[in-house]
């Protein structure tokens, strides 16, 4: 089983039935995050069509200004969502200080709600890694996935020390800095993602498809000098550990956390950070 810890299935159009079939055929456990209430509504309908898809509600930092004065009205969606995301900060594409301040307020609100409900957070941190780290620390967030981390290695180390998880995506296929980040993440905190359909399209101009996760896993394996099948298994176990005893998560992923030592003995066990 593969793990795609961050995708936007609501952004597919007429090709969606084929995409869902590809997810099932390749057994890709997929977290479909949202940008806003509208995308979450579509994502939820998609999730009802596949046992391999879990949907997550959040307001993306790019959309924070639209909802900054009505955050409490979003509580029913947060309460009903299995996870909280995509949330976070973006100082790379959003450079206006006043909008960044609004992002911080919205991010704090979502983190507080997620922490109080003991839900996994799915976090965007582009260009704002230090503030993300600070806010997560202040609010006591423990169960979080940092999506597509691309910041400094020094800030990465601080986030690693919090015990957070990191989903490596398609940029690993071509970017030496992402490859260095992949080497630095402890084996037990490593996940994979696609950010489909836009992530691969942003890099190559081609529509991102679910099966690209296989190439991501292969590159992780090559960089870490691991067996590819063991890497696939390790990543599934990592997500299962994060989701252990979580009432929102499908049984298929939680079972990975409860396998016997004999079943786990072949898995990768590199606890080092480098």
- pLDDT tens digits for range 237-247: 999 999 988 88
CA–CA distances in Å: residue 173 to residues 134, 215, 234, 244: 30, 8, 20, 30
pLDDT band, residue 253 (cuts 50/70/90): confident
| Cα 151 from Cα 103, distance rounded (Å) | 18
pLDDT of residue 252: 76
pLDDT band, residue 269 (cuts 50/70/90): very low
pLDDT of residue 258: 67
Q: Are 153 and 181 in contact (CB under 8 A)?
A: yes
| pLDDT of 196 over the 70 cut | yes
The three-point CA angle 259-261-266 to 5° equals: 95
| pLDDT of 266 over the 60 cut | no
Residues 6+ apart with CB under 8 A from 100: 89, 91, 94, 128
Domain 2-264: which CATH number of 3.20.20.140, 2.40.170.20, 3.40.1010.10, 3.40.50.300: 3.20.20.140
Give me the DSSP letters along the chain: -EEEEEE-GGG--TTHHHHHHHHHHHTEEEEE--SSHHHHHHHHHHHTT-TTEEE-B---GGGHHHHTT-GGGGHHHHHH-SSEEEEE--SSS---HHHHHHHHHHHHHHHHHHHHTT--EEEE-TT-HHHHHHHHHHHT--SEEEET--S-HHHHHHHHHTT-EEEE-GGGGT-HHHHHHHHHS-GGGEEE---TTHHHHHHHSS---TTHHHHHHHHHHHHHT--HHHHHHHHHHHHHHHHTT-TTS-HHHHGGGG--HHHHTTS-------
Residues 6+ apart with CB under 8 A from 200: 170, 194, 206, 207, 208, 209, 212
Average pLDDT, the chain: 93
- pLDDT tens digits for range 27-86: 999 999 999 999 999 999 999 999 999 999 999 999 999 999 999 999 999 999 999 999
pLDDT of residue 249: 85
- pLDDT tens digits for range 213-238: 999 999 999 999 999 999 999 999 99
pLDDT band, residue 259 (cuts 50/70/90): low
């Amino acid at each position: 089983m593969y793990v795609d810890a961050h995708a936007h299935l609501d952004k597919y159009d007429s090709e969606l039935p084929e995409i869902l079939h590809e997810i099932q055929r390749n057994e890709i456990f997929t977290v479909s995050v949202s940008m806003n209430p509208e995308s979450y509504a579509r994502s939820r309908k998609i999730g009802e069509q596949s046992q391999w898809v879990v949907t997550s509600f959040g307001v993306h930092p790019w959309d924070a200004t639209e909802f900054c004065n009505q955050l409490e009205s979003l509580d029913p969606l947060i309460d009903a969502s299995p996870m909280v995301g995509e949330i976070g900060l973006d100082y790379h594409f959003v450079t206006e200080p006043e909008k960044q301040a609004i992002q911080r307020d919205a991010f704090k609100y979502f983190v507080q709600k997620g922490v109080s409900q003991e839900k996994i957070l799915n976090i965007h941190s582009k260009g704002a890694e230090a503030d993300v780290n600070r806010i997560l620390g202040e609010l006591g967030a423990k169960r979080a996935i940092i999506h597509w981390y691309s910041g400094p290695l020094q800030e990465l180390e601080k986030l690693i020390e919090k015990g957070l998880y990191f989903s490596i995506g398609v940029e690993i296929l071509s970017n030496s800095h992402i490859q260095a980040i992949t080497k630095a993440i402890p084996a037990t905190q490593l996940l994979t993602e696609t950010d489909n359909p836009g992530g691969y399209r942003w890099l190559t101009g081609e529509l991102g498809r679910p099966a690209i996760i296989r190439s991501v896993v292969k590159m992780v394996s090559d960089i870490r000098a691991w067996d590819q099948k063991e890497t696939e298994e390790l990543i599934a176990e990592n997500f299962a550990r994060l989701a252990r005893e979580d009432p929102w998560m499908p049984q298929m992923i939680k079972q990975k956390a409860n396998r016997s030592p004999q079943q786990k003995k072949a898995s990768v066990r590199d606890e080092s950070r480098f």
